Structures are given as structure tokens and as C-alpha cells.
Amino acid sequence: METTQLEGLISMLFVLGILVLLVLPSVIGIVRDRRIDRQLREAEQGHLKDQKSSSKPTEPSTATWYAEGRRSKKLVSS
């Protein structure tokens, strides 16, 4: 291997190393985001299974109760 070929090989490896260093943070971020998305999906599916298996009826919130009361008063007073 001649000197010019060796210099070319070293230069090419150096450029590839810099490219890897530039791309690596993006790849790590993508992998991390996918892992978090997967964990959120699993948690949501687990939460939905818990809700479906529950036989206890849900109570309406105070805001819903108040809004329904105001609607019925409007109908009565009209």
C-alpha cells in the first residue's frame, strides 16, 4: 500500500468517524422516543383493560353536574 493510498484511507476513516459522531445523537434520540412511545402505549392499554374490567359505574364530575343543572333550569324558566 502506497503512502497516498494510506493517507486516503485515514482521511476516509476520519470523515466517517465525524459522520458517526454527528448522527449518533439523533439516532439515540429516535430510539429513546420510540421506547417512551412504546411505554406510553403499554400503559394506556393496561389502563384501558383496568377500566373495562371495573364494574363500578363512574360518577359524573361536579362540572358536569353543575352544567346539567343549569341546562334544566333554563328549560324550566323558559
Residue type, 66: Y
Residue with cell 421506547: 35
Please give the span between the terminal C-alpha atoms of the chain, in angstroms, as a whole number: 98
pLDDT tens for 6-53 read: 999 999 999 999 999 999 999 999 999 999 999 999 998 887 777 665
How far, rounded to the nearest angstrom, does the alpha carbon of residue 33 sit from its chain's CA centroid? 6
- Domain extents for the chain? 1-54
pLDDT tens for 50-64 read: 766 555 556 656 666
Question: Between 78 and 46, where is the model more confident?
Answer: 46
Q: Record the pTM.
A: 0.50
